[in-house]
Amino acid sequence: MDTVKKIITDLVGFDTVSDKSNLNIQDYIKAYLKSHGVDAKLVYNDEGNKTNLYATIGPTVAGGVILSGHTDVVPVVGQNWSTDPFTVVEKNGRLYGRGTTDMKSYLAIALSLVPEMLTANMKRPIHLAFSYDEEVGCLGAPRMIDEMTQTIPPVHAVIVGEPTNLEIANAHKGVRGYVFNLRGLEAHSSQPHRGVSAVEYAAKLIAELYHIRDTLAASPLKGSDFIPAYSTLNVGMVNGGTAHNIIAKDCSFTLDYRYIPGDDSEAIVSKIDLLVRRLSDRMKQDDPDSGITYDTREIPAFKAEMNGNAEALCRQLSGQNSTSSVSYGTEAGQFQERGYSTIVCGPGSIDQAHKPDEYIEIEQVKKGVQFIKDLIKWQAN
């Protein structure tokens, strides 16, 4: 446990909040692997200030298992931490620090067991795949996964180590994020007929979006183990206007749409498109330069596989027969849509993620170590 605790401490010590570079932590991981004779490959973003990392331990043959995790963490600004978030503190059987549960302990467990992987005479490899920018939309993993499909032999399973208390999650909702930008026409608030209020039209659009939300909530999916058992919409941030007595020229807001696998998400996307066009056209009737634009990105849903290799493997390693669905997004859907059998299973509780005084139970770390030890034995048989 001393080795894994040290690596957890080292990894948490890197401030890898998503708006910062992750090159330092990946340099550390690459150097650690190199010290054990393992070469790592880096897959950079376009700017060159962030990188994915993947590596193979064991023979370069088919039947490998990918251990997938992300190196970035969510911000600590505005949170009331009782300790330094980037210094691990151990107390009451817990390790406190940003990323301890989401998900640097999983990375550390895998890294700490590299020596055991190397001496186990595994017949099939274990691949490590550590990404950037998962927390801001799973932006980094796709280009790494695309390269891995070309450079490593066919894989038996992918285990995405997001915190599930080492329970088996075989499905999660898809996520489509929107940023809406409304441009109106400024005027004095005493002369509203001379202006086009971006704030007013943002309010109209938000009201329509919440009507869609309420319609979805009124028809939960029967038999679903998702909580809640329906697709959801949430407006998270709104920003607009310059003064109380000025018709607002600009307004922007974000929308988070999370859909259950199998739901007709494209129908909801089409409804949103129609709403935007209709309200934008209405704005343009009063001022041709006014209107609504938006950017969007998507994390694909992760669907339960029938007789999937990854689920069967995790059942065997953990001794569990039950599975669950989770509402948060992961990189699992990105692996799955590229043909990999995938599962989500990792130490720690999602209940502790993203909060001040984030922690992981040391007992969960121990169970995570045993889980990967059992995987090593399985790959050696």
SS (H, E, C) 190-221: CCHHHCECHHHHHHHHHHHHHHHHHHHHCCCC
User: Which contacts of 89-94 are long-range, i.e. CB under 8 A and separated by 24 or more positions?
Assistant: 90/5, 90/362, 93/361, 93/362, 93/363, 94/359, 94/360, 94/361, 94/362
Please compute the mean of the pLDDT values over residues 173-200 and round it to a whole number: 97
pLDDT for 214: 98
CB 231 within 8 A of CB 213: no
Bond from prior residue into 228 cis (ω within 30 degrees of 0): yes
Q: Calculate ∠ Cα 128-147-13, nearest 5°.
A: 40
Report, as an integer, the average pLDDT of 61-82: 97
pLDDT digits over 271-329, tens only? 999 999 999 999 999 999 999 999 999 999 999 998 899 999 999 998 888 999 988 89
Enumerate residues 6+ apart whose C-beta is below 8 A from 41: 53, 54, 55, 147, 151
Name the catalytic one among 102, 134, 331, 358.
134
Distance spanning both ends of the chain, measured CA to CA = 25
Phi and psi angles of residue 142, each rounded to the nearest 5 degrees, phi first: -55, -45
Query: pLDDT tens digits for 152-163?
Result: 999 999 999 999
Pairing status of strand 359-361 against strand 94-96 = antiparallel
Confidence of residue 221 (pLDDT cuts 50, 70, 90): confident
The arithmetic mean of pLDDT across residues 48-70, rounded, is 98
User: Which pLDDT value is given to residue 376?
Assistant: 98
Indicate the pairing of strand 155-160 with strand 64-70.
Answer: parallel
Mean residue pLDDT across the chain: 96
Whole-number Å distance between alpha carbons of 155 and 235: 39
The pTM assigned to this predicted structure is 0.91
Structure-token pair, residue 237: 């941030």
- Ordered by where they begin, the domains of the chain are 2-171+301-380 (3.40.630.10), 174-299 (3.30.70.360)
Partners of 257 in the beta sheet?
176, 233
Alpha-carbon distance 183 to 38, whole Å?
Answer: 53
Question: Quick one: what percent of the chain has pLDDT higher than 70?
Answer: 100
222 pLDDT exceeds 90?
no
Is residue 159 classed as helix, strand or coil in its secondary structure? strand
Report residue 266: phi and psi, to 5°: -65, -30
pLDDT at 66 over 90: yes
**Residue 134 falls in the annotated catalytic set:** yes
- As given in the structure block, the two tokens for residue 203 are 């309010």
Bond into 306 cis (ω within 30)? no
CA distance 345 to 168: 5
Q: Which two tokens stand for residue 193?
A: 């007929």
Single out the residue of 20, 49, 32, 173 nearest to residue 107, CA to CA.
32
Specify whether the backbone of 325 is left (phi greater than 0), alpha (psi in -120 to 50) or beta. Answer: beta
- In angstroms and rounded to an integer, the radius of gyration of the C-alpha atoms of the chain is 23
Please identify which of the residues 19, 39, 47, 72 carries the catalytic annotation. 72
What number is the average pLDDT over the span 31-47? 98
Half-sphere exposure of residue 53: CA atoms within 13 angstroms, side-chain side: 25
CA distance 80 to 288: 47
Q: Can you tell me the distance from the alpha carbon of 148 to that of 162, in angstroms, rounded to the nearest whole number? A: 20
pLDDT at 55: 98
pLDDT exceeding 90 applies to what percent of the chain? 95
Q: How far apart are CA 342 and CA 301, in angstroms?
A: 12
- How far, in Å, CA of 292 to CA of 275, rounded? 10
**And the tokens for 137?**
């939309």
Which of 145, 171, 143, 138 is CA-nearest to residue 298? 138
β partners of residue 254: 179
CA distances from 41 to 65, 129, 179, 271, 336 (A): 17, 10, 34, 43, 22
Yes or no: say if 340 and 159 are a contact pair by the CB < 8 Å rule.
no
- The pLDDT value recorded for residue 88 is 98
